[in-house]
Structures are given as structure tokens and as C-alpha cells.
Structure 1
Amino acid sequence: MKERDSESFESLSQVLPNTSNSARMIQMSMANSGSAAPAPAGQDHLDRSKWLLDCPEPPSPWQELKTQVKESYLTKAKKFKSLRKQPLPKRILFILQAVFPIFGWCRNYKLTMFKNDLMAGLTLASLCIPQSIGYATLAKLDPQYGLYTSVVPPLIYALMGTSREIAIGPVAVVSLLVSSMLQKLIDPETDPLGYKKLVLTTTFFAGIFQASFGIFRLGFLVDFLSHAAIVGFMGGAAIVIGLQQLKGLLGITNFTTNTDIVSVLRAVWRSCHQQWSPHTFILGCSFLSFILITPSSGRRTKSCFGYQQ
């Protein structure tokens, strides 16, 4: 038994060179455990502290990157090697299923699922239509462009997607980034045609990058983004989006093109003394109050809002 333990600790010290000292200490303590007297409590605590202080270092980002690349590509390479012995039709079917997963799950699709899918599609369509129009307005574009971006991507993802829970389409953060970056180059009010061309060019190159990330299986790069960075980015985007909605809430016509908090609040303060629509403000606050109050009141009166027990 002792020989097996010594061999295991020797292998551990070879794999993790930083743990050689701790492994030797553990091995010596186990070798002397049968004959020597038990160590005092203070000495045992000191040995444990040495083991903790001499723990192995975490892998570097470069090592993690190499590990992720190996896991992403070697698994695919092994699958393709196993297909060499298969006939040609099975190879073609495997490649089609890898590129278009619909060929894999459509064989098990039943007609009874169509009713639920139809209801889900109608529900999402009723939600996406006003939402996409709002995103187009946030990107300084016409409303029909928001409808284009909410219809075409789901059709493509239905053929090439692998997740049933993911939402495909425009988002508020991307719309805000597009408008904040491009309106510094071209003013959408003075040159709307040039602004639309610039937006289409930007989205075209963004699609090329996303397609290349999918082809080369580079989705693991998202793991290197820290949670704090993502939360900070989303929180800042939410604040900027909320400030940009003050233009429509107050009915302001001439508004600043900047997105920082100081410029937006300064523009709101100036417009409140000169031009703003109280009727628009009252109507907007009414709908906002309705949206905030409805969920809490709906839980209390479930029968009125269609909630089920």
C-alpha cells in the first residue's frame, strides 16, 4: 500500500513540478506514519500551512487557450477520422448535419409538435414586431429595417442553429453601438442615404466576423471575458439606453447626438425650458406605470390576466 502511495505521489510531482515539495512532505509523513509517533498539533498545523502555501500555480491564459483549442478541434478531427471507414453517403450526411443541424432533428419531428411551435411563433412575432421597430429607432433607422433584422436571422438560425433557448435578432446594445459610432461620421438627419449605406457596410463586416467565428469554432473566446466586465458593460448600456429614451418621453425634437450622461442631461435641461410636450410626457408615464404595475397586480388577480394555478 505504501509503495502504491509513493508511486502516485512521484507521478504527481512529475506532472505538477510546483507540488514536488508538498508531495515529498506528504510521502515522508505517510512513510513514517506506521512507525513514528503522531506529530503534535502545532507541527501538524505547520505542515498543512506549508502544503497550502506550496500549492500549484494556476494555468496561464496561454495554457488555457491551448487547452480550449485542442478540445475544440481534436474532437472534430477524431470524428472525421472515424468516418473514413464509412461509406460516402454517411459521410455526406454527417457533414450536412454538422453544418445544418435541421437534418438531424427533423427526422424525429412529429405533427403534434407543430401546434406548440405555431403558438410559440405567434407569441414571439407579437413581441418582436414592436421590439424590432424600437431597436431600429434606437439605431437611427427606419422601422422596416428593424423588421428585416427580426425576420431573416431566425429563418437562417432554424436551419443552422443548435439551441432552442437562444434568442436571435436585434438587441438594444448593438443598436445603440451602431448609432453612437456611425453618427459621428455621418449625420442621419442631414444625409440619411449615406448613413444607411454605412450601417449596411458595418453589419456586413460584422456578419463576416461572426460567420468566421462559427466556422473556426472560436466560441470558446467568450470564456475569457470576465463576469465583472460583462455586467459593467450591460449596466452602462442600460443607463445610456434609458437616457436616450428621454427624447421620446419628453417629446423633444432637437436632441444631442452624444451618448454620455452629462451631454444628455444638459440637452434635457435646455429643452425643458424651451420646447417639450407635456402631453407626450403624461402619455409615456402612463404606459410606463402600466408596465410596472401590471406584473404585481397580475399575480394578485390571476383570473383577470390569464394566470394559471
Structure 2
Amino acid sequence: MEDTDITSTHSSGRLPYIHKVRKPPKQNSLKEFTSTVKETFFLDDPLRPFKDQPRLKKFTLGVQAIFPIFGWAKDYSLAKFKGDLIAGLTIASLCIPQTNGATAPTDFFELLKNLKIYSSFVPPLVYAFMGSSRDIAIGPVAVVSLLLGDLLQAEIDPKNAVAYRRLALTATFFTGVTQLALGCLRLGFLVDFLSHAAIVGFMGGAAVTIALQQLKGLLGVKNFTKKTDIVSVLHSVFKAAHHGWNWQTIVIGISFLVFLLVAKYIGKRNKKYFWVAAIAPMISVIVSTFFVYITRANKEGVQIVNHIKKGINPPSANEIYFSEEYVTKGFRIDAVAGVIALTEAIAIGRTFAAMKDYHLDGNKEMVALGTMNIVGSMTSCYIATGSFSRSAVNYMAGCHTAVSNIVMSGVVLLTLKLITPLFKYTPNAILASIIIAAVVSLFDVEAAILIYKIDN
């Protein structure tokens, strides 16, 4: 093998050094291709920690690789659990009434209404054991629900309720398979291409979009646009200004929004009172629900959650069809809705990971999201992913780990079994107030100004 001389200079600038550097050995095309693929897809070599380890250690490492919760559980403390408990209760009190609201096309919502609330029970539980994000809150989201509804209606007549439900569950199954396959192929490195500027932009854009969407609940607007762009939303809001706004709803919404913002300010100003901001959303739900119940404000036009069906997820594995027709349609839907759901979850996870300065494992995220949707499709759930609004509330409420998702799942289960009537009088305005209070702080003005200056 040939040696090449490379001359360098000592720090003093006077004494030269000659380094002998060997040229890399020549490889045939196949080995070179194999090496390139390995460097691209398996840069972190997932099997490296298992080398030269005893069998018991290999088993332990394998369990921790598949279920990260067993890796960090040994360092879990009571202080962390307190934060996760408050956060879990808060996002549960938000998601139960929220998932009963119509955030999808009418036909889709009516036909799959029960699947929506179930999607806040099983998928978060699976993700808590397999995901690597500490802050993401799992469940159905408006964007994916709208998209899934449109795609389903393009493939099958909503009047055929049985076939419609079967296709929704089949599409959810294949979405999970695709997401799981991407994780197994080690494509998580794509997460690293999300730059800080992209994250700041996504976070700011999502915060503005979601906050504007909440004006429907905050102002009591009944006929609201299904579009999400700023112009359409503002046009819909001001069009309803003369006859569509409900002053009782506005009073309730603004009052609790001010309360939440003041609580957040107190928590930031004095760290001893951090718990004030953490429990404020849950207190808001309880107090506002009780207020509407005793005043019967719903009879004055204040929109409330109304009925939530009681009972837990029935098994639905027998409703997943593998005939050529269903497989083809399922993959067509998965190619769009599944990819959007995956992208949204990873972007949200990366956003909050950057805010708390920890690493998000893209491969584990894909595997976790895929597994939870496969399991979800067998337990009467449709496509679930990371919810930006609930993740923001989860973050604001002081979560430390994915245990907050376990708490949320437990509360949802308890609610579905026993206490669904308690949420009947929860006003939609309070849900809007909680989400607005959570997302406004995510718009990083200083970072946006800095990026703008650098760009110019």
C-alpha cells in the first residue's frame, strides 16, 4: 500500500512535519456500494452495543431498544411523576371534550365519531412505552382527520357505513405498517435535516394557525370555514360578527384566557409558584363546566360538548380487510395521510426536543408511531399522531416524560367507563382558551428576528 507525504508546519511556523498517510484500500463496486449504504442508513450501527455482551445484558439492551421507557425508568423520581401527573390530567381534561368536537367533514365525523375518542386511549399508551419524545401528546388531529375524511370519501360512498369504517381501519393499519417499515430501514436520519430555522418557522406558523382556528370556539361561531389559511379564517370570523358571535361565550372564553395567561405569568415570574400555571388549565375546565351547568348557559347559545358515548374500544381486527380492493385503497390513503401524520409528529417532537435540549431518535419515533397505529387499527382507532395543540398544553403543564401520555390514557379509560356525563357541560370556549394560552408562548419572536437579520 502506498504512503503519501503530507507536510504541515509547527505552531511556531518554523518547523515542518511530514506525516505518513496511507491511501485507503481499493474496493470493488459491490463493496463500495455496500459501504455507502451502510454509512447512509446504519451510521449509528444499532447492533454495536450488543457486541461482546453476556446474554442477559443483550436481552436487557434489546428490551430497552424496543421500549425506551425501561431505559429511563430507573432514573424516574417522584418529582417527575408530579409534573407528569398534572400534565396528564390536564391534556386528558382537554382531549376528552376536544375529540368529541367536529374537526372533520360531517360524514366522516358522524361515521367515525367513536373511533376518534378511542384514538386518545390506545395509541398514547403504546407510544409512551416505545417513543423517544418526552413532550409529544398523541391522539387524532384536525389536519389528518380532514385529510382522511376527504380521501375516504373519494374512495367509497359514506352512505355505506360498514365499508366506510372498514376502509378507515384498513388504511390505519397500512399507515402503521409503512411508518414501522421506515423506522426499521433506519430512515430516522431524515429528522436531522430539520434545521433550527425550519423548526422556528414551523412552530410559529403552527402556533398562529392553531390559535386562529380556536376563534370559532372563543367567539361562539357556528358556521365556520373548514379551511385553515389565515384569510379564510378571518373572513369567516368577521362575516359572523353581526349575528354569529355569542356574547356569553365571549365572556366565558376571554375571562378564562386572561386567568390562564396571568397564571402563566405568575409561574414564570416566581419559580416557587410554577404549579399555578400547571394546574390552571385543569381548574379552568372544572370551574367552567360547573358554571355552565348551574347557569344553564348552553340554553343561551353557549356551545358545549354534549354527549360522549360510554364504553371502551371493541376489538376491530376482524374489520381490517386484505382483499385486493381494500389493500389498494388503503395504500393510496396511507401514501398521503400516513406521510403527513408522520411528518407532523416528528416535526412536533423535534420542536419540543430542541426547546428542552435533548435528542429525538427519528428511528424510534417511526417505529413507535407505526406500532401504535397498527395496534390502534385493531382496537377501533383511526390514524393517530402528535397533536401540536395538546403537546403545547402538555409542555406548558410541566411534563417531564412520556408518563403524561400514560396518565392521559388512564383518565380517558376511566372517563369512558364511568364519568362521561361530567364532560357534557364543558363549554367549547374553555378548550379554545386553553389552546390559545398554550400556543402563543411558542412563537419565538427573538429567534424569528435573528433568522430574518441573518437572511438579510
TM range (shorter): 0.5 to 0.7
How far, CA to CA, are the matches of 1:297 and 1:105 in structure 2? 31
How far, CA to CA, are the matches of 1:303 and 1:247 in structure 2? 32
Q: Write the mapping of 1:128-277 to structure 2, written as runs, cut at 5 A.
A: 128-133=91-96, 136=99, 137=101, 139-140=103-104, 147-161=117-131, 163=132, 165-170=134-139, 175-182=141-148, 184=150, 186=153, 200=169, 203-277=172-246
For residue 127 of structure 1, give the secondary structure of its aligned residue in structure 2. Answer: helix
Which of 66, 70, 91 aligns to 1:99? It is 66
- Deviation, 1:229, is 2.1
C-alpha contact 2:103 2:145 (8 A) present in aligned 1: yes
- Deviation, 1:101, is 5.0
How far, CA to CA, are the matches of 1:146 and 1:129 in structure 2? 14
Residue in 2 aligned with 1:48? none
How far, CA to CA, are the matches of 1:33 and 1:208 in structure 2? 63
Residue in 1 aligned with 2:256? 287
For residue 10 of structure 1, give the secondary structure of its aligned residue in structure 2. Answer: strand
One-letter amino acid of the counterpart of residue 90, structure 2: L
Residue 10 (structure 1) aligned with residue 5 (structure 2): yes
- Deviation, 1:293, is 1.1
C-alpha contact 1:255 1:267 (8 A) present in aligned 2: yes
- Deviation, 1:215, is 2.5
Deviations 1:98-131 (A, max 9, x none): 434566677x69xxx7866764553233112123
One-letter amino acid of the counterpart of residue 216, structure 1: L
For residue 224 of structure 2, give the secondary structure of its aligned residue in structure 1. Answer: coil
TM-score scaled to structure 2, two decimals? Answer: 0.42
For residue 44 of structure 2, give the secondary structure of its aligned residue in structure 1. Answer: helix
- Deviation, 1:263, is 1.1
Q: Write the mapping of 1:116-135 to structure 2, written as runs, cut at 5 A.
A: 119=82, 122-133=85-96
One-letter amino acid of the counterpart of residue 185, structure 2: F
Deviations 1:41-60 (A, max 9, x none): xxxxxxxxxxxxxxxxxxxx
C-alpha contact 2:42 2:186 (8 A) present in aligned 1: no
One-letter amino acid of the counterpart of residue 167, structure 1: I
C-alpha contact 1:133 1:143 (8 A) present in aligned 2: no
Deviations 1:149-179 (A, max 9, x none): 3432343245435x58343523xxx713214
One-letter amino acid of the counterpart of residue 148, structure 1: Y
How far, CA to CA, are the matches of 1:130 and 1:210 in structure 2? 29
For residue 241 of structure 2, give the secondary structure of its aligned residue in structure 1. Answer: helix
How far, CA to CA, are the matches of 1:290 and 1:245 in structure 2? 17
Q: Could you tell which deviates more after superposition, 253-262 or 95-104?
A: 95-104
Residue in 2 aligned with 1:33? 14
How far, CA to CA, are the matches of 2:11 and 2:72 in structure 1? 55
Deviations 1:281-300 (A, max 9, x none): 11111111111112334546
How far, CA to CA, are the matches of 1:253 and 1:195 in structure 2? 27
How far, CA to CA, are the matches of 1:291 and 1:129 in structure 2? 17
C-alpha contact 1:102 1:158 (8 A) present in aligned 2: yes
- Deviation, 1:139, is 3.8
How far, CA to CA, are the matches of 1:245 and 1:30 in structure 2? 62
How far, CA to CA, are the matches of 1:156 and 1:32 in structure 2? 61
C-alpha contact 2:264 2:276 (8 A) present in aligned 1: no
For residue 258 of structure 1, give the secondary structure of its aligned residue in structure 2. Answer: coil
The change in CA–CA distance for 1:204 and 1:240 in structure 2 (over 3 A counts) is: farther
How far, CA to CA, are the matches of 2:149 and 2:141 in structure 1? 12
- Deviation, 1:246, is 0.9
Identity of aligned residues (%): 39
- Deviation, 1:306, is 6.7
Higher RCO (C-alpha 8 Å, min separation 6):
2
Indicate the structure (1 or 2) with the bigger Cα radius of gyration: 1
One-letter amino acid of the counterpart of residue 66, structure 2: V
- Deviation, 1:202, is 5.4
Deviations 1:168-221 (A, max 9, x none): 523xxx71321443455559xxx6969877765554444333322332332221
Q: Write the mapping of 1:67-82 to structure 2, written as runs, cut at 5 A.
A: 67-73=39-45, 75-76=46-47, 78=48, 82=52
Unaligned runs of 5+ in 2: 17-34, 278-456
Deviations 1:20-52 (A, max 9, x none): xxxx6x55x9999369xxxxxxxxxxxxxxxxx
The change in CA–CA distance for 1:114 and 1:241 in structure 2 (over 3 A counts) is: closer
Residue in 1 aligned with 2:393? none
How far, CA to CA, are the matches of 1:244 and 1:123 in structure 2? 26
How far, CA to CA, are the matches of 1:225 and 1:164 in structure 2? 16
Unaligned runs of 5+ in 1: 1-6, 12-23, 36-62
